[in-house]
Structure formats: C-alpha cells, structure tokens
Amino acid sequence: ALRISNCVNVRLSGLKHFNSQRNHISIDGCNDVIVSGLHIFAPEQSPNTDGIDIAGSTNIQVMNSVIQTGDDCIAINTLCSNINITGVTCGPGHGISVGSLGMNGEVAKVEGIYVQNCTFTGSTNGARIKTWQGGAGYARHIIFDDITLINTDNPIIIDQYYCPNCVNQSQTSAVQISDVSYSRIRGTSATPTAISLMCSQTQGCTDIRLMHIKITSAHSSEPTSSKCINAHGKYTDSIPKVDCLLP
C-alpha cells in the first residue's frame, strides 16, 4: 500500500491501512524515519500481509501503533541498524520478527534492534528471530524488553531452520546470532513450549540472556517448557527454566 524508498527525515503518523494486497508499508534504504499512531489491519488468514517491512535502513522508530495482520506485524530485514520499536500492539499476526535472514546464501547484517513495551495478543509468535540455513553474516545486539503476552503461540523463538513450504537441507553455514537479551517478558502461551531457541548446529547462538521471564499456560495448569539446540548464554528468574543456558 505504501513504500518509502531511499528517503531521509520522514515522519509518518495517524494513518489507517486496511487489507493491503500484500505488505502494508515498506521502508527500504532510509535513514531517520519516525512512524507513529498507525492502525494496520488485514484478516488473520491473509498471507504475506506484513504490517511494516524494514530493510536496508537505519535510525528507524516505530511507536504507539496497532498492527493486526495475517503475517509479521513488523519484519526487520538485512542491512538494518538502530531500529527502535516501542508501544506496538500486535495480533493477530506472526509477531515482531528479525528476519527472515540468510535466504539463498545471503550475507545478513543486522544490529542494534530494540523492541520495548509491546503487547502480543493471539499472535503466532512474539519476540522472533528467523534465519535460513546456508546464510552468512550476523544478527546481534538485539533487545526485547517489557513485553506482554496474551495467548501467544511461540512467545520467545529463535528459529535458524526457517524454511516455509520446503524441506530443510543440512547446511554448514548460518547467520551468526549473538548478544540477544530478553527481559521483563510476562503473560500466557497458547502452546506448551514458551521458549524455543533452535540455533544452527554448526554456528550456534552465543550470549543469549533471559531475565525476569514469567510465561504461563493460557489453557491448562500444566507448566510451560523450553527447548534448545546449540544455544549458549545465561538465564535469571525465568519461568519456564531454560536448561541449555547457565543459571
């Protein structure tokens, strides 16, 4: 519906976007963009209707907006740095995603991502990082802080095996994920696995930190759980516990 390309010093506010044929807003190759007060809507079952896609951009702020779509509420793609997302309500949708990165051997470069004071309601994912096998480069210095979850399927998820509509093939290279912090995340999970850190078997994820996490089940009295592949770091005061990380 709207594409902002190769622009500097952009202010976008107060718009309502309904039922774009694909993604609603693209920000590509930009510097110093502030987006605020948007309401973006598409049916939950509508494919590829991302709310805001950001690529090749730096110094981007998305604030105080409601995004209800059939795909990522916000997707942060390669060559992005200093992206600040605050006060966004997401759901339905696929969460706020770093990625996907590394498709077809892409060399990804993403750093300085800060997601704060956001709410996920009935979304497929919450705080999400997704990369394809066979990629390269890095995603680092990423912070998810002060997040509220309401009946979210995958509240905290790193997926380095992202491969929709295909069969994953074992690859030796991967986007390197490091220095990722999850703090003050609370609410309910719609699935038993509240924390999923599925990192590359050859590269792994390093310096992953979870602090003050409390995610309980939305549908049962059974405790939530976590699962990991090759994830390394620390956790403090976390429900569920993350046994692959050091306490």
Beta strand spans in the chain (E)? 2-5, 8-13, 16-18, 25-28, 31-36, 39-41, 52-55, 58-68, 74-76, 80-90, 96-101, 107-121, 125-131, 136-152, 154-159, 176-189, 193-198, 205-217, 225-229, 231-239
| Residue 153: partners with Cβ closer than 8 Å, 6 or more residues away | 123, 124, 125, 189, 190, 191
Please identify which of the residues 39, 94, 141, 232 carries the catalytic annotation: 94
- 94 assigned to active site: yes
Rounded Cα gap, residues 150 and 190, in angstroms: 8
Q: Which residues are catalytic?
A: 94
